[in-house]
Chain A
Amino acid sequence: QKEVEQNSGPLSVPEGAIASLNCTYSDRGSQSFFWYRQYSGKSPELIMSIYSNGDKEDGRFTAQLNKASQYVSLLIRDSQPSDSATYLCAVNKDTGNQFYFGTGTSLTVIP
């Protein structure tokens, strides 16, 4: 079983819609959760971090964490063509430095 699983997509949404990206993780002891955006040929860029159950909002982005269900999601409101990228979910298993990444979900926002 993979440590972190994401639907690889591709996910297509029209401009202005809400894009919903999902991630599950296998280790209940995981403490910290991150979403990164990666444009083709570029390095991952941190979008959101979340450490406790519930929602965390930052601009058009909302991260949601449900530790009981071992589920993390990212909502992108008012999606823009510039949001078209691969979104990576990352999990830190304990308070150390072991990180696990999902394989990413490819998002395309159609103008």
Chain B
Amino acid sequence: NAGVTQTPKFQVLKTGQSMTLQCAQDMNHNSMYWYRQDPGMGLRLIYYSASEGTTDKGEVPNGYNVSRLNKREFSLRLESAAPSQTSVYFCASSGYLLYEQYFGPGTRLTVT
């Protein structure tokens, strides 16, 4: 089992460009999450999907969109990247009831 996988691992964008971060899990988890991690700010929840077909905003959703493509896959889209979106992005998944989250390896994004 690969657990949670993310692509790409690294990305450099220019201001205004768009991109989609991909996440997939093979643990049959219902819930999936997108976080960003910035120095001194900790992990902050961007969006989550409690189950296939549903998505909800987290703490910092502005500038992002998400798609829960199926039970395995949850993508994060930046429509018009800004330097403030330079961060490390983590995808996570959790099963039902216990909410123990398992994280992917992360995507390091730089917006210039």
Contact of A69 with B by CB under 8 A: no
Q: In the assembled complex, how far is the CB of residue A37 from the closest CB belonging to chain B, in whole angstroms?
A: 11
Q: What residues make up the interface of B, taking CB atoms closer than 8 Å to A?
A: 31, 33, 35, 40-45, 48, 50, 56, 58-59, 90, 94, 98-106
Could you say which interface size class chain A belongs to?
A: 20 to 34
Contact of A88 with B by CB under 8 A: yes
Most A CB within 10 A of own CB, among B35, B43, B98: B43
1/0 contact string of A1-28 vs chain B (CB within 8 Å):
0001000000000000000000000000
Of the candidates A32, A88, A100, A103, the one whose C-beta lies within 8 Å of that of B59 is A100
Chain B residues touching A, majority SS: strand
Closest 3 CB pairs of A and B: A103-B42, A101-B43, A43-B103
Question: How many CB-defined contacts (below 8 Å) exist between A and B?
Answer: 54
Known contacts A88-B42, A102-B42: A96-B50 contact under CB 8 Å: yes
Cα A99 to Cα B17 with chains together (Å): 29
Contact of A70 with B by CB under 8 A: no
Task: Find out whether the CB atom of A104 lies under 8 angstroms from the CB atom of B42.
Answer: yes
1/0 contact string of A90-104 vs chain B (CB within 8 Å):
101000111111111
Could you pull out 23 A-B pairs where Cβ atoms are within 8 angstroms? A4-B42, A42-B106, A43-B90, A43-B103, A43-B104, A44-B43, A44-B103, A45-B103, A46-B100, A46-B101, A88-B42, A88-B43, A90-B43, A92-B99, A97-B33, A97-B56, A97-B94, A98-B45, A98-B59, A99-B45, A100-B59, A101-B42, A102-B42
Cα A97 to Cα B103 with chains together (Å): 15
Q: In the assembled complex, how far is the CB of residue B3 from the closest CB belonging to chain A, in whole angstroms?
A: 10
Nearest opposing residue in chain B for A34, CB measure = B100
Cα A18 to Cα B50 with chains together (Å): 38
